[in-house]
Structure 1
Amino acid sequence: MIFQDGQKLLFIGDSITDSGRKDDPDGIGGGYVRMARDYLSIAHPAVCLQIENRGVSGETILDLHARWQEDVIALKPDWLTISIGINDEWKEVGLTKYRDTYCELLEETKKRTGASFILMETTIISEDPDDGKNERLVPYNQAIREVALQFGTILVPQNRLFTSYLREQRRRTLTVDQVHMNSTGNWFMAMNWLKACGVIKE
């Protein structure tokens, strides 16, 4: 397993990462972060990991930038998972600004913490894979893939996996409102993350 005993794993992003963490005594929330943490605890009980969630509902990459020192650099993670982009499309953060800010954050974090990165594609904004709304996310996900390649990070292809699943399983639902995950969607996200990290073998 790539994660080592005593390491700190930090997750940061928007509401899908947040998932009610401020109302959770553990500060983890009820979403994919909790499910990934619980799987790691069960599958690798001898490996003690510190899991931190710093997701905030409604945020864009620019909001992450504003709190990066406090919520990332100061915490000195060994591994940093980033899931951001849906609100950037909704709030019309320009693609160049999005990509440049993403790169700036990774460069600063690598220099000041030495953390390794796990980047996640966005999920979806409609459970209909043919809905044109999802097309608006295409350039943002392309930017994420380019940044992942540039920095040599692990990439979790959430958007492609969600689209493929929904195309094949049209009677299944992964969200409560076309965007935010139900329990199945959170497990799907967690499993995709665990597979990309090599914790679960295909």
Structure 2
Amino acid sequence: MCALQPVAQAQDRPAINPLYLMPADQATPAQVTQMQQRLLDWPQLQRYRDENAALPPVAPGAKRVVFYGDSITEGWGPTGSERFFPGKPYVNRGISGQTTAQMLVRFQQDVIALKPAAVVILAGTNDIAGNTGPTTQAMIEDNLHAMVELAQAHNLRVVLASVLPVSDYPWQPGVQPAGKVTALNRALRAYAAQQGLVYLDYHTAMTNKDGGLDPELAADGVHPTPAGYAKMVPLAEAAIARAQGR
């Protein structure tokens, strides 16, 4: 008789968003709306459709850059705002809560179709949190590699960002993400070197002794404060300059 295998430790198991396990009669109206929206438009292709159509052509001599990601990117501020690189031809296409699988689906319309010179990709933390179901590191890497390959096929320069430090997710406690983030970032750094991409290392510059973010950089431990974004800006600008200089 075969011995039973030990149950995997929590840090070894992909996380599952508790919303997927919740009985329907226990969900709040906001949670029901969220699930309905996901069923109707899972990758949220409608989110930026009007803004994309209204985006003016790139000015002569300018180099458009698309910042592509989840709430950490979206929270930087909308395109053209004083919070998001004022005066720069940068476009924000972050969507809160998204995982790499959702981002891959909308990459054509929200990045390639905008004809940027470069794209800054920051994604993966919501996959680790299990926002769209159990996801392994290999699955995250596959989705990010596919986005990079699409960008390269259209001659876009790619800045591949590290996942920001996080020691706990308020909406998904117990995942113990710090080690998973470090492992994913190690793989992303190696992939960037192999592919000749610019690796944007937010993690090293922002992590604390617990592998997370200090409260002054992220009050909830995940989403940057103004001070957190202020720390990210020069890192992003330097990475973009390196990418455009190649």
Q: Give the TM-score taking structure 2 as reference length.
A: 0.62
Q: State whether residues 28 and 52 of structure 1, in contact with CA within 8 Å, keep that contact through their aligned partners in structure 2.
A: no
The answer to whether 1:97 aligns with 2:97 is: no
Amino acid aligned to 2:142: D
Residue 70 to residue 28, structure 1, CA distance change in 2 (3 Å)? farther
The answer to whether 1:60 aligns with 2:110 is: no
The Cα shift of 1:5 comes to 3.5
The Cα shift of 1:89 comes to 0.7
The Cα shift of 1:194 comes to 2.3
**1:7 equivalent among 63, 74, 92:** 63
Match of 1:45 in 2: none
The Cα shift of 1:198 comes to 4.9
Partners of 1:120 and 1:177 lie apart in 2 by 21
Partners of 1:29 and 1:82 lie apart in 2 by 21
Partners of 1:171 and 1:109 lie apart in 2 by 34
The Cα shift of 1:28 comes to 5.2
**1:115 equivalent among 156, 159, 180:** 156
The Cα shift of 1:136 comes to 2.2
Match of 1:143 in 2: 187
Cα-to-partner distance string for 1:84-110 (whole Å, 9 max, x where unaligned) = 011111114211111122111111221
Q: Give the TM-score taking structure 1 as reference length.
A: 0.75
The Cα shift of 1:192 comes to 1.8
> Which stretch of the first structure deviates more once superposed, 64-73 or 140-149?
140-149
Cα-to-partner distance string for 1:100-159 (whole Å, 9 max, x where unaligned) = 221111112211x211011110112239xxxx5412212211221122112211111111
The answer to whether 1:189 aligns with 2:232 is: yes
Gap regions ≥5 residues in structure 2:
1-59, 169-175
The Cα shift of 1:171 comes to 7.8
Q: Secondary structure at the match of 1:106?
A: helix
Moved over 6 A (4+): none
Give 1 or 2 for the bigger CA radius of gyration: 2
Gap regions ≥5 residues in structure 1:
42-48
Q: Secondary structure at the match of 1:52?
A: strand
Partners of 2:226 and 2:162 lie apart in 1 by 19
> Which stretch of the first structure deviates more once superposed, 66-75 or 133-142?
133-142
Identity rate, percent? 26
Match of 1:46 in 2: none
The Cα shift of 1:193 comes to 1.6
Partners of 1:5 and 1:157 lie apart in 2 by 28
Q: Secondary structure at the match of 1:54?
A: strand
Amino acid aligned to 1:140: L
Residue 75 to residue 85, structure 1, CA distance change in 2 (3 Å)? same
Q: State whether residues 119 and 154 of structure 1, in contact with CA within 8 Å, keep that contact through their aligned partners in structure 2.
A: yes
Residue 95 to residue 183, structure 1, CA distance change in 2 (3 Å)? same
Cα-to-partner distance string for 1:55-88 (whole Å, 9 max, x where unaligned) = 0001111010111111012112101000001111
Residue 7 to residue 198, structure 1, CA distance change in 2 (3 Å)? closer
Residue 194 to residue 149, structure 1, CA distance change in 2 (3 Å)? same
Match of 1:177 in 2: 220
